[in-house]
Copies of this chain bind each other. A is one copy, B any other.
Amino acid sequence: MQIDTILMNNPVYDQSELYLRHISIDNVILGYHNKELKVLLQRPQGFNKWLLPGGYLKRTETLIDAAERIAKERTNLDNLFLKQFGAFGSPDRTKDSDFTPQKLSDISDIIIDDKHWMFDYFVSICFYTLTDFEKVQPNGDAYMEECVWWSVDNIPPMLYDHKDMINSALKTLRLHLYHYPIGYELLPKKFTLPEIHSLYETILNKELDIRNFGKKLIATGIIKKLDEKKKIGAHRSPYLYMFDDNQYKDALNKGIAIIL
């Protein structure tokens, strides 16, 4: 740690604040539905660009605590899978011609100027979160006009650098797919081989031979076949599978090599 003399001689610091300045947490909340990867986005009152669910860091929280709190506020779910994938910071990243102090003042009837802390330099610590689409109940807050799922293949105009964050999250997720068992949180507890196969194809955006895919995934030991089948209408019923909790946790900790 390098100690700057100017700062060193200024011992005054106001600890009364609930949140820390300069730090925000943004969350790329992902779900899987209809063979599409979805991301949960929100649109602030009176604006037509979108934001990732985000918030600030409380003095009493760790980074992951904050990310969990933020994810819970938008999804109503606990015990989510969260993974930090990067920190974004530059002097101008909180400048956006479509989200200015002036516009915000007009809408909110609070006077907000360029010097307001909200438009100060913020470093955003980013997480991606995997959720079970069916269980998520998207809800915004008083400041948000909408909070809904968007397909990652069709992202609306985003404020700030939030589009970059989504791309970075997806890149990290694709990398993790080869080293960690992904799917536990994105799928229902019991799922079929074709279902998890579709999920992987969707995330990687490429075709995978389902016969070989099944063999390889079963060979890792992280999923196990059940003695049940799923009714899917006028076709042969596929077997149901579920993750083997022990093997799954193990693979998550140690990391595995999954060659698809």
**Which residues of A are interface residues toward B (Cβ below 8 A)?**
1-4, 6-11, 13, 15, 17-24, 44, 51, 53-57, 59-63, 70, 73, 84, 86-91, 108, 110-113, 115-118, 120-121, 123, 125, 141, 143, 175, 179, 255
Contact = CB atoms under 8 A, between A and B. Distances in A.
Given A4-B19, A175-B179, 12 more contacts: A2-B143, A6-B18, A7-B17, A7-B117, A7-B118, A9-B110, A13-B21, A13-B115, A20-B123, A22-B23, A23-B23, A62-B90
B1 A111 contact: no
Copies per assembly:
2
A125 B87 contact: yes
A70 B11 contact: no
A3 B62 contact: no
A21 B21 contact: yes
Contact of A123 (B110, B111, B112, B125): B125
A32 to B, nearest CB: 24
Contacts of A54: 1-2
A161 to B, nearest CB: 11
A155 B168 CA distance: 33
